Amino acid sequence: MGLPFERVWVTGASAGIGRATCLELARQGAKVAATARSEDKLAELTEEAAPLAGSITAYPGDITDAPRMRDIALGIQQDMGGIDVALLNAGTYLPLSIDTWSDESFADTYRLNVQGMVHCISAVLPVFKDQGKGHLALVSSIAGVKGLPTSAAYGSSKAAVTHMAEAMRCEQAATGIKVQVILPGFIKTPLTDKNEFPMPFLMPAEKAAKRIVSGLQSNRFEVTFPKRFTWMVKATAALPDFIYFPIIGKLTGSSRG
Ligand SMILES: NC(=O)c1ccc[n+]([C@@H]2O[C@H](COP(=O)([O-])OP(=O)(O)OC[C@H]3O[C@@H](n4cnc5c(N)ncnc54)[C@H](OP(=O)(O)O)[C@@H]3O)[C@@H](O)[C@H]2O)c1
């Protein structure tokens, strides 16, 4: 069985989850429009996809540049005749705790994870409206479910992304635009390679890509993996505060007392 969609715009395509997902989509026959800032890495990616059933075409750009995102979405529409799915994945994690609090880290995180996401949505919505249908898949994080140590900026930015997706999902029946949120646990990528803390159930990016491509074909709102870990996080988040905070302190070694 082939994919139920053909033309997919992927942001954050030059590394990690985005790169692996572009390749998995192309393996399964999709025409992928790949966006990231690193043109050299995108060129390598398009070359790697050459023998695959589908294709990957580079549309380089910085998602914090709103006019560039609009040009890219219109460019894909012209070149490919439309966009079936926008998998908005570009994002970053800058650790931030009370000891290292900084306006700059917060602003950088929000500029990319929240405002950049908004620029991409603003760019693709006119295309979806023209078509009378579309599919938005926003890559958030399980870290956005409830506060975790060093995640004041990252976790709150991802909570905003999840909330955005929930709000738009409420309008799905009226707009014809399918909305999903992707909530990964720990995935092995250049982003997590920098982490010095233990990452339970760390999943290879290629496996995460398969989960995403399968999730995009479902009608579920939330696509989350590895489930053993993300469900544990959700169950812990549902505990009363007087249990949640001491448990998180113990599990992460972040409590000082
Ligand atoms: N890895 C995990 O464990 C994990 C867990 C939960 C959620 N996530 C989320 O999954 C997404 C991908 O994470 P990852 O681990 O694959 O990260 P990664 O390995 O650091 O890759 C990030 C990608 O985003 C692109 N990017 C960064 N800034 C950009 C900008 N301003 N404009 C356009 N593209 C930009 C990077 O390419 P360029 O540098 O070439 O622009 C790269 O392709 C992120 O949203 C992250 O928050 C990851």
Q: pLDDT per residue over 54-103, tens digit each?
A: 999 999 999 999 999 999 999 999 999 999 999 999 999 999 999 999 99
Q: What is the pTM of this model?
A: 0.98
Whether 243 maps to a domain, the answer reads: yes
Contact status, residue 56 vs residue 7, Cβ threshold 8 Å:
no
Domain count, the chain: 1
pLDDT of residue 205: 98
Whether 1 maps to a domain, the answer reads: no
Place of tokens 């043109």: 39
Whose C-alpha lies nearest to ligand 1, atom 1?
A: 187
pLDDT of residue 22: 99
Residue to mutate (ligand 1; options 11, 41, 89, 119; most atoms within 8 A of CB): 89
Report how far residue 52's alpha carbon sits from residue 69's, in angstroms, rounded to the nearest whole number: 27
Whether 56 maps to a domain, the answer reads: yes
Of the pLDDT bands very low, low, confident and very high (cuts 50, 70, 90), residue 14 is: very high
Residue 9's identity, in one-letter code, is W
**77: domain CATH number?**
3.40.50.720
Whether 230 maps to a domain, the answer reads: yes
Whose C-alpha lies nearest to ligand 1, atom 23?
A: 12
Percentage of residues of the chain with pLDDT beyond 70 = 99
Q: State the angle between helix axes of 39-49 and 16-27 in degrees (0 to 180), rounded to the nearest 10.
A: 30
Domain that holds residue 31: 7-252
Whether 257 maps to a domain, the answer reads: no
Whether 2 maps to a domain, the answer reads: no
Q: Could you tell me the distance, in angstroms and rounded to a whole number, from the CA of residue 241 to the centre of ligand 1? A: 31
Arithmetic mean of pLDDT, 210-224: 98
As a whole number, the mean pLDDT across the chain is 97
Whether 157 maps to a domain, the answer reads: yes
- Non-local (6+) Cβ contacts of 241 within 8 A are none
Q: pLDDT per residue over 106-154, tens digit each?
A: 999 999 999 999 999 999 999 999 999 999 999 999 999 999 999 999 9
Q: Could you tell me the distance, in angstroms and rounded to a whole number, from the CA of residue 73 to the centre of ligand 1? A: 19
Residues with CB under 6 A from ligand 1: 11-18, 36-38, 41, 62-64, 89-93, 112, 116, 139, 141, 184, 186-187, 189-192
Q: pLDDT per residue over 171-189, tens digit each?
A: 999 999 999 999 999 999 9
Whether 133 maps to a domain, the answer reads: yes
Q: Could you tell me the distance, in angstroms and rounded to a whole number, from the CA of residue 154 to the centre of ligand 1? A: 12
Arithmetic mean of pLDDT, 209-219: 98
